[in-house]
């Protein structure tokens, strides 16, 4: 006898029973799914935890490794630098995806004991230090590569570290909330760290851009290539010189104005 | 110049050395002060490397120290004098001193041209401390040493003061004497001797 084809009222009740079973089963499945996801997440979290703990030295020491780690974090939508001072915002945004994570404190602060963003703060302090000490030489504009050589040389014993350009940019960004005048300016193809609250006018940046290309400029070069009058060209280079942004070389016939960024790069000729 | 044995390794010139404007004293005060500082560091490390204790300005101008042949840039006598004068000033850490032939310090700066200059990559006081430490380390306290023995002897061949200018040595030992750590006496014709205690 085929039970499924029962006619009459009894079929109605069994139908209802069936739907009920389906929904309850669905609910169990869903909750089991959520549960397994949660376990997976917590496993993943503890793995990342262990990973960060065992490799925290590498994260600090190896720029390529740190970049990959940071890339992974950005892929997961985790901004580990921001986590330290946007703690509230962090937790709420984390709550959505992290679930089991962060009760009250940011994941990264608890996971890494603050070592990663400590790293960027330390780097920031080092950068400020270097910018200050080289200010009289380069007028407060220092190129990224220059800064990197300074950092890798280290001031105090043991303070030398290898960093990438991305690290420096990150660290300079971390300085922004302090309301300081630190920032990154782009002149030509090069990024420079600016540590003076000075705005360059168009003429000055044009000249600096030319300096980046050639290594130096002369007044007559400016006159020829930019079609400037002599007084204008002279005024601009003298302005730049007064701010230590260029150095003058009087031994080449006509005065040549060099960018101090070329001190570490070596002369071009 | 008191050059002794040439060190086997070549001197590593600082990056500033290949920067043409480095050889022109900068007219702007802040730039200039940083430039002077860089020159001072450079001169000291150059002299330390080559074991030079004093420079004769005129002669030094054509040496690699002040003349970069690859860039064909050269420090002028006037600028070199300005740098050394700055080094000799308290602001420059008194890392140089003009040697006068007449004993008049003021005059020594003016003599300039043919003037000779001590380059103190270690100041006499620092040399004194190092000499004392050496005597202590090698157990020569109470022993009479000749000055010649100190700078040319086998025991000091590896020390920084090997081949040191006699005059500078006398100045440094003078500091030891002043501190009451040593006594100089001349032994008649044989040169001077010194005893540390």
Which CATH architecture describes the domain B124-196?
Orthogonal Bundle (1.10)
| Closest Cβ–Cβ partner in B15, B24, B28 for A251 | B24
- Hey, are the CB atoms on B31 and A251 less than 8 Å from each other? no
The predicted pLDDT at position B93 comes to: 83
Mean pLDDT, rounded, of chain B: 81
CB contact, 8 Å: B40 with chain A?
Answer: no
For range A203-212, the mean pLDDT: 84
CB contact, 8 Å: A182 with chain B?
Answer: no
Question: Exposed (0-12), middle (13-18) or buried (19+): which is B134, by Cβ within 10 Å?
Answer: middle
For residues A209 and A194, what is the distance between their CA atoms, to the nearest angstrom?
A: 15
Most A CBs within 10 A among B19, B29, B80, B91, hence the mutation to make, goes to B19
The predicted pLDDT at position A35 comes to: 93
Between A19 and A69, where is the model more confident?
Answer: A19
Domain ranges of chain A: 16-113, 116-194, 202-265
Between A193 and B40, where is the model more confident?
Answer: B40
Q: Which fold has domain B15-119?
A: Arc Repressor Mutant, subunit A (1.10.10)
Contacts of B13 in chain A (CB under 8 A): none
Distance of CA A232 to CAs A217, A235, A250, B27, Å? 14, 5, 20, 20
Listed range (A4-8, A50-54, B13-17) with the worst mean pLDDT? A4-8
- Hey, are the CB atoms on A249 and B31 less than 8 Å from each other? no
Output Rg (C-alpha) for chain B, integer angstroms.
18
Q: Where in chain B is the domain with CATH 1.10.10.570?
A: 15-119
The predicted pLDDT at position A200 comes to: 77
Give residue A38's Cα distance to chain centre: 31
* A positions 220-249 inside 8 Å of B (CB): 241-242, 244, 247-249
Q: Where in chain B is the domain with CATH 1.10.10.10?
A: 124-196
If one counts every other C-beta atom within 10 angstroms of the C-beta of residue B193, the result is 18
Percent of chain A with pLDDT over 90: 6
Contacts of A250 in chain B (CB under 8 A): 24
Is the pLDDT at A97 greater than 50? The verdict is no
Nearest residue on chain B to A247, judged by CA atoms?
B21
Nearest to A186 by CA among A137, A144, A149: A144
| B144: CB partners within 8 A, 6+ apart | B193, B194, B195
Nearest residue on chain A to B24, judged by CA atoms?
A249
The predicted pLDDT at position A160 comes to: 58
- The alpha-carbon gap from B26 to the nearest alpha carbon of chain A, in Å, equals 7
Nearest residue on chain A to B30, judged by CA atoms?
A136
The predicted pLDDT at position A206 comes to: 86
Domain at A202-265, CATH from 1.10.10.10, 3.40.109.10, 3.20.20.70, 3.30.365.10: 1.10.10.10
Instruction: Indicate the CATH number for domain A116-194.
Output: 1.10.10.10
- Hey, are the CB atoms on B74 and A251 less than 8 Å from each other? yes
Percent of chain B with pLDDT over 90: 6
- Predicted confidence (pLDDT) per residue in B155-178, tens digit: 777 888 888 888 888 888 888 888
Residue A91: which pLDDT band, with cuts at 50, 70 and 90? very low
The predicted pLDDT at position B8 comes to: 60
- Predicted confidence (pLDDT) per residue in A122-165, tens digit: 788 888 888 888 887 887 788 887 788 887 776 554 555 677 77
- Hey, are the CB atoms on B27 and A241 less than 8 Å from each other? yes
Q: Tokens representing A18?
A: 């069936």
Contacts of B31 in chain A (CB under 8 A): 136-137, 139, 241, 244, 247
For range A81-97, the mean pLDDT: 38
The predicted pLDDT at position B104 comes to: 52
Is the pLDDT at A87 greater than 60? The verdict is no
Most A CBs within 10 A among B16, B17, B21, hence the mutation to make, goes to B21
- Hey, are the CB atoms on A258 and B19 less than 8 Å from each other? yes
- Predicted confidence (pLDDT) per residue in B114-165, tens digit: 578 888 988 888 888 888 888 888 888 888 888 888 888 887 778 888 888 8
For range A54-68, the mean pLDDT: 75
Between B30 and A99, where is the model more confident?
Answer: B30
The predicted pLDDT at position A28 comes to: 94
Residue A266: which pLDDT band, with cuts at 50, 70 and 90? very low
Between B2 and A42, where is the model more confident?
Answer: A42
Maximum Cα–Cα distance for chain B, whole Å? 56
Mean pLDDT, rounded, of chain A: 74
């Amino acid at each position: 006898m085929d039970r499924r084809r029962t006619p009459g009222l009894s079929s109605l009740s069994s139908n209802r029973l069936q739907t009920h079973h389906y929904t309850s089963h669905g609910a169990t499945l869903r909750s089991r799914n959520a549960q397994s996801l949660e376990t997976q997440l917590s496993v993943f979290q503890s793995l990342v935890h262990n990973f960060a703990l065992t490799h925290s030295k590498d994260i600090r020491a190896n720029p390529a490794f740190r970049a990959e780690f940071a890339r992974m974090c950005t892929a997961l939508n985790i901004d580990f630098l921001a986590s330290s001072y946007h703690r509230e915002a962090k937790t709420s945004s984390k709550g959505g995806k992290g679930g089991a994570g962060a009760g009250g404190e940011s994941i990264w602060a608890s996971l890494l004991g603050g070592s990663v963003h400590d790293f960027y703060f330390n780097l920031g302090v080092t950068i400020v230090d270097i910018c200050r000490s080289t200010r009289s030489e380069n007028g407060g504009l220092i190129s990224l590569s220059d800064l990197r050589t300074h950092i890798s040389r280290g001031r105090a014993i043991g303070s030398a570290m290898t960093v990438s350009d991305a690290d420096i940019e990150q660290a300079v960004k971390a300085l922004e909330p302090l309301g300081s005048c630190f920032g990154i300016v782009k002149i030509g193809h090069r990024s420079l760290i600016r540590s003076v609250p000075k705005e360059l006018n168009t003429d000055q940046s044009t000249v600096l851009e030319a300096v980046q290309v050639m290594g130096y400029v002369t007044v007559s070069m400016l006159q020829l290539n930019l079609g400037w009058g002599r007084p204008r060209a002279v005024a601009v280079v003298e302005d730049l010189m007064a701010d230590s942004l260029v150095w003058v070389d009087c031994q080449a016939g006509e005065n040549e104005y060099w960018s101090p960024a070329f001190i570490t790069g070596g002369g071009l000729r | 110049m008191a050059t002794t044995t040439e060190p086997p390794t070549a001197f590593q010139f600082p990056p500033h050395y290949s920067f043409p404007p480095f050889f022109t004293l900068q007219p702007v005060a802040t730039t200039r002060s940083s430039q002077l500082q860089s020159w001072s560091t450079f001169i000291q490390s150059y002299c330390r490397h080559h074991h030079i204790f004093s420079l004769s300005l005129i002669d030094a101008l054509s040496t690699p120290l002040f003349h970069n042949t690859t860039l064909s840039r050269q420090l002028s006598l006037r600028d070199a004098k300005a740098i050394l004068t700055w080094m000799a000033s308290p602001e420059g850490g008194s890392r140089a001193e003009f040697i006068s032939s007449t004993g008049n310090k003021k005059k020594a700066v003016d003599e300039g041209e043919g003037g000779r200059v001590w380059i103190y990559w270690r100041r006499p006081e620092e040399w004194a401390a190092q000499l004392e430490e050496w005597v202590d380390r090698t157990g020569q306290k109470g022993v009479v040493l000749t000055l010649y023995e100190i700078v040319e002897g086998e025991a000091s061949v590896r020390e920084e003061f090997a081949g040191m200018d006699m005059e500078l040595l006398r100045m440094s030992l003078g500091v030891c004497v002043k501190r009451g750590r040593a006594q100089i006496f001349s032994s008649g014709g044989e040169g001077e001797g010194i005893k540390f205690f």
